[in-house]
Amino acid sequence: MQAGELITTDQQGRSGSETDIQQAYSVLEDVMDPEVPVVSVMDLGIVRDVSWLDGHLYVVVTPTYSGCPATEYIETAIRDALQDAGFSRPKVSQRLAPAWTTDWITKQGRNRLKAYGIAPPVGSSSKRSLLSGITQVECPNCGSEDTEQLSEFGSTACKSLYRCKSCLEPFDYFKCI
Amino acid sequence: MTKYDELTEFLLRLGDSALIQAQRLCELTGRAPALEEEMGMMNVGLDLVGQARNWYEYAAERINDGTDADTLAFRRDERAFRNLLLVEQPNGDFAVTMTKQFFYDAWQFHLLTMLKGANDERIAAIAAKSLKEVTYHLRRSSQWVERLGDGTEESHQRMEKAVDVVWRFTFELVEKNGAELALSESGNIPALTELPEKWLATVNEVFAKATLTVPDAPSTFYLSARTGMHTEHLGMLLAEMQFLQRAYPDASW
């Protein structure tokens, strides 16, 4: 808890309605991931709850990777976007459990990743698929399944580096986690 | 020297090991043998910094005297660090780097698997989250141990040498100790009695594929991370890691 949070209502504090929550969700649809600017925080499934408490809008997010440098940026972006939309001093808090999984990425999110040139996670994040490491990844550029992994880790911790043996293009694969 | 309660000490042990391992990996920026491996090591390091932060934030809340995660990382001296002796060892060549990483990953993997079931909800949450990342770390380092051990004559020899260099520090991964026993008796964490066997089983399995010999169990020696008695390498590492915060206290980006 940070200083100031003990004050549970601010001057502009008011009660929220169902419409406010819906409006907040639609604002969040437009808060994009800074590294993959085509997927929103809603697409990534990191927004776990939006509620109204003591005159504030509360957003609960579950961080992706422990060390992801985008986490703090995203939290600020969420606060700014909500404030711009007229919510007074919105609050963002983190929830660690259950841990974020790529299974929460929406269908729209997966399609957007692919259109951006990043292969979306294949299959589920079950322990078996994580340990075996055998994944058939489809090339997001030409759709070929004749691809190979170049490196377990790609440009960020959430991605692996692959190469398509058909169109010869390298590409990022968003790993299952 | 401040002595914290057992749970806080345990959290610092986890956080410090993750942070120091991350710092060693980050020393390789611009020096890794291949670009892809450099990215891999930096990404593993980044995960570990995040994990350390999660452990530190919990520890700082328990210490509750204004200490925060940054204070724990950047304002403590060598004797206050509780990291494994293994992770503070110099990187050496790529064989040493990967051997250390593999020993540490295998230990983390089994430890976090157990801690995922902790009654302490915060520990369980951090463990469950970290385990997903560590699973990838272990997969990568196991594959490198296999590839180098069962590779060329030179890579095999260098792996044998690497094992020889760092093996003696693995006693800390397999020692049974009172503090964790007390924590499991008080119900905070599950019993970690099977951790040494599980760690060794993973080492045996990967070394068999890598055609490497598993040495005899190392014996305890006078240094111990639990009491803050470190090898001479930690001081140099901290000097570099903490320089900025110490030269410019409270500096921020």
Please judge whether B136 and A98 are an interchain contact, meaning their C-beta atoms are less than 8 angstroms apart.
no
Could you report the average pLDDT of every consecutive run of 10 residues in chain A (177 residues)? 43 72 95 93 96 91 91 94 92 94 95 94 69 77 92 86 94 91
Instruction: Work out the minimum CA distance from B200 to partner chain A, whole angstroms.
Output: 18
pLDDT (average), residues B129-136? 96
- pLDDT for A14 equals 65
Look at residue A126 in the predicted model and tell me its pLDDT.
Answer: 65
Lowest mean pLDDT, pick from A48-57, B103-112, B127-136, B144-153 = A48-57
* CB-side neighbour CA atoms (13 Å) of B29: 9
Q: If phi over 0 gives left and psi between -120 and 50 gives alpha, with beta otherwise, what is residue B177? A: beta
Of A114, A127, A128, A171, nearest to A147 by C-alpha is A171
pLDDT of residue A130: 54
B124 touches chain A (CB under 8 A): yes
Angle, vertex CA B47, rays to CA A5 and CA B2, nearest 5: 65
Distance CA A65, CA B47 (A): 7
- Residues in A lying within 8 Å of B, measured between beta carbons: 65-69, 96-101, 125, 127, 130-131, 133, 150-157, 161, 175, 177
Please tell me the distance in Å from A62's CA to the nearest CA on chain B: 10
Q: Find the CB nearest B124 among A67, A97, A100.
A: A97
Whether B124 shows a pLDDT value over 60: the answer reads yes
Residue from B19, B46, B56, B134 whose CB has the most chain A CBs within 10 Å, to mutate: B46
Cis previous bond, A69, omega within 30: no
Which segment of A41-55, B169-183, B202-216 scores lowest on mean pLDDT?
B169-183
Least Cα distance to A13 among A61, A71, A59, A56 occurs for: A56
List, as one string, the DSSP characters of B148-178: HHTS-HHHHHHHHHHHHHHGGGGHHHH---H
Q: Give kind and range of the element (H or E) at residue A57.
A: strand A56-61
pLDDT higher at A42 or B2: A42
